[in-house]
Amino acid sequence: MKLIIAIVHDDDSAALTDALSSSGFGVTKMCSSGGFLRSGNTTLLCGVEEERLEEALGLIKDRSSGRKQFVDPALISPIAGMQGATPSFPIEVSVGGATVFVLEVDRFCKF
């Protein structure tokens, strides 16, 4: 058995959770936030049998779209060595997509 930890943008979480659930995957949803943009993320935990791992990863990939967004530089965490040098106009950044970790599960219990 594998444990998928998928960190996705809040805008993608509802469709992804629905897709995983309707395909028979159990999903636990946790609210989280990113360090760079301090924006809302969702962390999903999904236990998957090894033979269905690629199916689950495909659903995550298909429903976690990357996109460009303009943000106020005041909302961005300072980058090392850049204090006091932030621009005063909105900047374009990439958001969305998914960061996924797949871990081996030694034991699974449901009480």
Q: How far apart are CA 55 and CA 102, in angstroms?
A: 13
Nearest CA among 20, 3, 2 for reference residue 64: 20
**What secondary structure letter does DSSP report for 21?**
H
Least confident of 3-7, 43-47, 88-92: 88-92
- Across the chain, mean pLDDT equals 82
* Domains of the chain by residue range: 2-79+87-104
Q: How far apart are CA 95 and CA 37, in angstroms?
A: 9
pLDDT score of 79 more than 70: no
In percent, the amount of the chain with pLDDT more than 70 equals: 70
Nearest CA among 88, 41, 97 for reference residue 68: 97
pTM of the model: 0.74
Q: How far apart are CA 86 and CA 79, in angstroms?
A: 9
Architecture of domain 2-79+87-104: 2-Layer Sandwich (3.30)
Pairing of strands 2-9, 66-71: unpaired
pLDDT score of 84 more than 70: no
* pLDDT at residue 90, as a whole number: 72
Nearest CA among 111, 110, 95 for reference residue 47: 110
| pLDDT tens-place string over residues 7-61 | 998 888 999 999 999 999 999 999 887 655 556 789 999 999 999 999 999 999 9
CA distances in angstroms from 85 to 63, 68, 73, 82, 88, listed in the order given: 36, 22, 10, 5, 9
